[in-house]
Amino acid sequence: MKGFVPRPFGRPVPLELVVWLALIWVMLWGEVSVGTVLGGLLTGAITTWLLPLPALDPGIRIRPLKAASFLLWFTADLVNSTARVVLWVLRTGSPPSGIVQVRLRTSSESMMMMIMVAVSTVPGSLVLEAHPDRRELVLHVLGRTGDLTSLAQRDVSGLESRIVSAFGTRADREELR
């Protein structure tokens, strides 16, 4: 019965959302009883019927094998980056750091958001600014030696390719070719 959406008076009421709202209702009341559960279901049904959510396409398509490959690579990158930052912390003196601007090839806001989250999750890098209209990110890079701009551009381009390959739409993947 998954995906069943009743349509009272012609307007859809998503059952999963009604149940979720009923659960929140019961938690807010702090008491599990027939009355609070039925009240939550009724409140959830009325709320979703009166205030329907718009249909959204987040622009993400999960390819399981590519996603698993990305997660393995990302885990290794996290370990490597953490070790690099720890080594710089243990040394005397301040680690090399800089602010760099990198260009993205994708125009998808969903892919840009995933890239920004991934970059900021990795120790030693942080997204300071995003310019979606210009497809650019401004990053703070820590603990890297050499030409920071080219290193950051190479790292972000590789990350972008992996993310778009694992989670992008067909149009997103075509854009990177």
Domains in the chain: boundaries: 8-50, 64-175
Mean predicted confidence (pLDDT) in 3-9: 56
Answer whether residue 11 shows pLDDT above 70.
no
C-alpha to C-alpha distance for 10 and 15, rounded to whole angstroms:
15
Starting at the edge strand that comes first in sequence, how are the strands of the sheet with 97-103 ordered? 97-103, 136-142, 125-131
Task: Give the pLDDT of residue 9.
Answer: 58
Mean predicted confidence (pLDDT) in 104-132: 95
Answer whether residue 161 shows pLDDT above 70.
yes
Angle made by CA atoms 101, 104, 110, in degrees to the nearest 5: 120
Contacts of residue 76, defined as CB under 8 A and 6 or more positions apart, other chains included, come to none
Query: Hey, CA dihedral for 23, 24, 26, 30, is it positive or negative?
Result: positive
Mean predicted confidence (pLDDT) in 105-112: 94
What's the pLDDT band for 99 if we cut at 50, 70, 90? very high
pTM score over 0.75: no
Most confident listed range (15-19, 45-49, 77-81) = 77-81
What is the DSSP code (8-state) at residue 117?
H
Radius of gyration of the chain (CA): 23
* Amino acid letter, residue 171: A
Of 93 and 71, more confident: 71
C-alpha to C-alpha distance for 108 and 170, rounded to whole angstroms:
11
